[in-house]
Amino acid sequence: MTDKPTIGYIGLGIMGKAMARNVMKAGYKVVAHNRSRAAVKELVGEGAVEAFSPKAVAEQVDIVFTNLPDSPDVELVALGADGVIAGAHEGLIFVDNSTIKPASARLIAEKLGEVGVLCLDAPVSGGDVGAQNGTLTIMVGGPKQALDKVMPIFEAMGKSITHVGEGGAGQVTKACNQIMVAAQMVAMGELLIFARKSGVDPEKVVQAIRGGAAGCWTLDNKPPRLFAGNRQPGFKAYMQAKDLGIVIDTAREYGIPLPSAGVNAQLFSAMLQMDMAELDNSAVVGVIEALAGQELLED
């Protein structure tokens, strides 16, 4: 049996650090890099190897993962002067766990492919809890021969791994996911304020409806935190707004009408203007509160 591949992980935010830690727990050597060094030092204290550039990571590993805020960040890390492409070598596989534009994922795959690197776009869903528990949903685009080699590492990160199609298909799938997530968060905010302002206990409303046709992940996971007054992330509102921007840009590219997603994008954009950017995406209820003149925790 061959030795386990060496793994690189670039981007150690709320999600990335937990995912890299689970890879380490599964017995893989991890080479870590992050613009902010505190997260790197934390993982080094647990056995990771420190690197100081994407190039340095790529030179030392068999598979390099990235988990970064937006399309330009991934393009820079992958294709920049000191990027993964500069440290590329035979057999290297590049896997992006970020949520970026499908067009960016395809560009990166094309450019890295020119130097012999196989690429997977593999965005994830499941939030900070899923990242910590290794129960993420991973949606994958790219060549099957690369996925076959990466699958054991994905299994350390998530419980549902689906090969959707060729390069960019993972990011299209994540955009679809974010359309539904945003719709659920907004609908939950509306129903909670609707119940409260109508004089009915929203906690009991959630208890009554979550086992029926309205049942969903959002109603199963978010209300207890909101009822406890906790609107901390989780998944930050500004990231949800960014993802909806990807949805709208891609829809425009293909001529797809998305009326409700367009409204929801505006509501999450409003969160940024109302100093809620760092709150959880479920805190979009705060926009509904402002519009309705009714706070969730105030009778």
Residues 97-128 have pLDDT tens digits of: 999 999 999 999 999 999 999 999 999 998 88
Rounded to an integer, the average pLDDT of 190-195 is 98
- Is residue 94 within 8 A of residue 112, CB to CB? The reply is yes
The mean pLDDT value for 53-65 works out to 98
Mean pLDDT of 10-27: 97
* Angle between helix 169-197 and helix 285-292 axes, rounded to 10 deg: 40
Mean pLDDT of the chain: 97
Determine the average pLDDT of the residues in 256-269.
98
Domain positions in the chain are 7-166, 172-292
Report the amino acid identity of residue 135.
T
Is residue 227 pLDDT above 70, yes or no? yes
- Identify the pLDDT of residue 3: 86
> Class of the 172-292 domain?
mainly alpha
Contact at 8 Å (CB) between 81 and 52?
A: no
- The pLDDT value recorded for residue 127 is 86
Q: Angle, to 10 degrees, between the axis of helix 102-113 and the axis of helix 71-79?
A: 0
> Burial level of 293, CB count in 10 A (0-12/13-18/19+)?
exposed
What is the reported pLDDT for 299?
A: 78
Residue tagged 């647990």 (tokens)? 46
Please report which confidence band the pLDDT of residue 1 belongs to, taking 50, 70 and 90 as the band edges: very low
> Which of 101, 174, 236, 242 is the catalytic position?
174
Average pLDDT over residues 26-50: 97
How do residues 73-102 score in pLDDT, each as one tens digit?
A: 999 999 999 999 999 999 999 999 999 999
Residue 217 pLDDT greater than 60, yes or no: yes
Query: Catalytic annotation on 144?
Result: no
Q: What is the pTM of this model?
A: 0.93
CATH architecture of 7-166: 3-Layer(aba) Sandwich (3.40)
Q: Is 33 in contact with 52 (CB distance < 8 Å)?
A: yes
